[in-house]
Amino acid sequence: MKDKIAVITGAGQGIGAAIARRLAREGAKLVLVDINEDCLKDIATELECDLLAVAADISKKDQVFAMIEQAKDHFGTVDILVNNAGIIRDGFLAKISEENWDKVLEVNLKGPFLCCQAVFETMKAQNSGKIVNIVSRAWLGNIGQSNYSASKGGLVSLTRTLALELARFQINVNAVAPGLIETPMTRSMPEEARARLLRMQPTGKMGTVDDIAAAVAFLSSGDATFITGQVIHVDGGKSCGLLSL
């Protein structure tokens, strides 16, 4: 991955920041993207690799295309795209407002679609590219997360379809599905919900952001060149079925 140019969305904190640290260690040059300028500044200051930090909302087409143009002006190309930024607005069916349905679908599904569109011509021209979409084990279904689960299920379908469309250009498109990972997102959940999720966890503990970063590093590397359209669940076994105690 030495000197590869990697765009990481939602890189300011949590899983995205861990992916940035890991790819920096592997020798990549980074384009860090986040809507939250404060945490974006913090991670850009912390990392000592060659990087560009861009504040952008990935659900807005003009901002996404401008961000990729900035990345190309600065580094010349884009080799790796990690679609990591995502949000939750949880609730049972009757409680999810239209606004919270639209917002989650806009950020979690339309955002990655726009980012893929924005990097496509560049990756096609160089006849290589790696796209890794961060989905969630919740794409298989999760009570209280119909908007989030639908967005991540849609992102799995987008991953598989783009894998077929882009394979002829040697562009790999894969997904990583984290289980319960300790991040600001999960820390914002009500304690009762976190405890319930932990009880259903085969390992009995949450995963770490580094567990996800390791899977992303593999899928972004030359070792994964013949792997495309796949979803790697990094969830301590939770996607294997119900845990009966």
Q: Hey, which residues are catalytic here?
A: 148
Q: Is 32 in the site for ligand NAP (CB under 6 A)?
A: no
Measure the CA–CA gap between 101 and 91, rounded to whole angstroms.
Answer: 10
236 lies in the site for ligand NAP, by CB under 6 A: no
The reply to whether 219 sits near ligand NAP by the rule CB under 6 A is no
- For ligand NAP, give the closer residue by CB, 114 or 127: 114
* 122 versus 183: smaller Cβ distance to ligand NAP: 183
Backbone angles phi, psi at 129, to 5 degrees: 170, 155
Among 12, 129, 154, 236, binds ligand NAP (CB under 6 A): 12
112 is a contact residue toward ligand NAP (CB under 6 A): no
Per CB under 6 A, the list member of 1, 9, 216, 217 interacting with ligand NAP is: 9
Using CB under 6 A as the binding rule, whether residue 19 contacts ligand NAP is answered as: no
The verdict on 134 binding ligand NAP (CB under 6 A) reads yes
* Binding-site string for ligand NAP from residue 169 to residue 208, where x marks contact by CB under 6 A and - marks none: ---------x-xx-xxxx----------------------
Stretch of residues binding ligand NAP (CB under 6 A), selected from 5-13, 73-81, 162-170, 225-233:
5-13
Which CB atom, from 186 or from 239, has the smaller least distance to ligand NAP?
A: 186
Least Å from the CB of residue 176 to ligand NAP: 8
* Residue 159 binding ligand NAP, by CB under 6 A: no
Token look-up 């319960």 returns 180
Mind spelling out the 3-state secondary structure of the chain?
CCCCEEEEECCCCHHHHHHHHHHHHCCCEEEEEECCHHHHHHHHHHCCCCEEEEECCCCCHHHHHHHHHHHHHHHCCCCEEEECCCCCCCECHHHCCHHHHHHHHHHHHHHHHHHHHHHHHHHHHHCCEEEEEECCHHHHCCCCEHHHHHHHHHHHHHHHHHHHHHHHHCEEEEEEEECCECCHHHHCCCHHHHHHHHHCCCCCCCECHHHHHHHHHHHCCHHHCCCCCCEEEECCCHHHCCCCC
Residues that bind ligand NAP (CB under 6 A): 9-10, 12-16, 34-36, 39, 57-59, 84-87, 107, 111, 134, 136, 178, 180-181, 183-186
